[in-house]
Amino acid sequence: MSLEQVVEAHGVRLRPFRAEDVPDVVDGLADPVSQRFMTGLPSPYTEVDARWWIDAGAPAAWTGGGAAYAVADPATDRLLGTVGLSNPVPARGQAEIGYWVRAAARGRGVATAATRALAEHAFASGTARLELLTDAENGPSQRVALATGFRYEGSRRSAGSARDGGRHDLLAWVRLAGDPPGPAARLLPDLPDGVLTDQVVALRRLAPGDAELMHRLHSRPEVVANQAPPVPPTREAIERRCRLAESGWLTGEIARLLITDVSSGKPVGSCGLSYTDVAGGEASVGYALLPDWRGRGYATRAVRLLATWAFGAVGVARLAAGTVPDNIASHRVLERVGFHSEGLQRGRLPGLAGTRLDDLTFALLPGGLR
């Protein structure tokens, strides 16, 4: 792999670092977002650290078979961030791509442009496979991966290190030299304008700030009783679920949504859509409401909105919903939307103390949506 020192493409300039970049390197790497998601950074990050990077760190990346580019504005040549290649495996034609962007330059597509520019140049120079690793809670970085054609490949267990000495998983996104140009296809597209609504209820993506409400909802005895196994979640587990909601959406694992009342803006409950068979085009739905909002048609409206989105923008061919046999209220919600009972699966789900629970399955096809 033989890379050029200067690359101009997609509205950015990739060039070597210079001494005058020191203040902007400090600005970028002392930033809280960089400190949170980039492992191994000194804290606080100072001019001494920036000078070491420019004089020794970046050159070492090149001599080690990788690359470390300053990402600059072509009009001013001022540093916007960096993009580079690391951990090269020549025998596989493989390298890892990474980047950071100064806070002042975020939201302008700089990371996407720089990643696309370097990926294209690397492929043209003989690289066959690029990996991009992201923190599971770093949604913006995952969006960059998708926008630049990287596909989600799975989780790298304990591949990341934390400042406290612990380890955590990283998500692996991969692009091959022969992959088509443009953004990678997604199993779960974004909601139109961020919301689904029938002007009575609205569904939006679950967010970190919803943790208290979600814990209160999913700790209720009647909600727990309809889970498998019927064990109340911990507050920590709910907080993490909310922090990972965007990641679950972007990886195609699950779309978790909050249900709200349009007129008051108050939360009503939650619902979700997850694939059960990607190749077969089947997904499942689930939902739960707070007591004060039950019996008013809100669950039916929410499931209908979710099903309409699933059959439309998502493109699934079949929806399923599993319920415990005695949850009659949930059965009525599904039937009002158009689901039909397809039978009882005995002992399908785990219960408490080694017991098993029956699962009454409902299903809906596009033509049956009411």
pLDDT in tens, 64-123: 999 999 999 999 999 999 999 999 999 999 999 999 999 999 999 999 999 999 999 999
Per-residue pLDDT, 1: 59
Q: What is the pLDDT of residues 3-56, one digit of tens each?
A: 889 999 999 999 999 999 999 999 999 999 998 888 888 889 999 999 999 999
pLDDT at 227 over 90: no
The separation between the first and the last C-alpha atoms of the chain, rounded to the nearest angstrom, is 57
The closest alpha carbon to 306, from 321, 324, 323, 322, belongs to 321
Whether 98 contacts 41, CB under 8 Å:
no
Q: What is the pLDDT of residues 232-274, one digit of tens each?
A: 999 999 999 999 999 999 999 999 999 999 999 999 999 999 9
Output the average pLDDT for the chain.
95
Per-residue pLDDT, 226: 86
Per-residue pLDDT, 48: 96
pLDDT at 137 over 80: yes
Q: How confident is the model at residue 157 (pLDDT cuts 50, 70, 90)?
A: very high
Q: What is the pLDDT of residues 319-336, one digit of tens each?
A: 999 998 999 999 999 999
Strands (DSSP E) found in the chain:
7-9, 12-15, 67-72, 79-89, 94-101, 129-135, 151-161, 167-176, 196-197, 201-205, 254-261, 267-277, 282-289, 318-323, 340-350, 356-364
Per-residue pLDDT, 3: 87
Amino acid at 87: N
Per-residue pLDDT, 256: 98
Per-residue pLDDT, 69: 97
Quick one: average pLDDT of 147-175? 90
Which tokens go with 302?
Answer: 């929410």
Which tokens go with 81?
Answer: 């961030």
Q: What is the pLDDT of residues 282-341, one digit of tens each?
A: 999 999 999 999 999 999 999 999 999 999 999 999 999 999 899 999 999 999 999 999
Q: Determine if residue 107 is left, alpha or beta; phi over 0 gives left, psi from -120 to 50 gives alpha, anything else beta.
A: left
The closest alpha carbon to 216, from 178, 269, 144, belongs to 269
pLDDT at 163 over 80: no
Q: In 85-151, which ranges are continuous DSSP H helix?
A: 110-124, 139-147
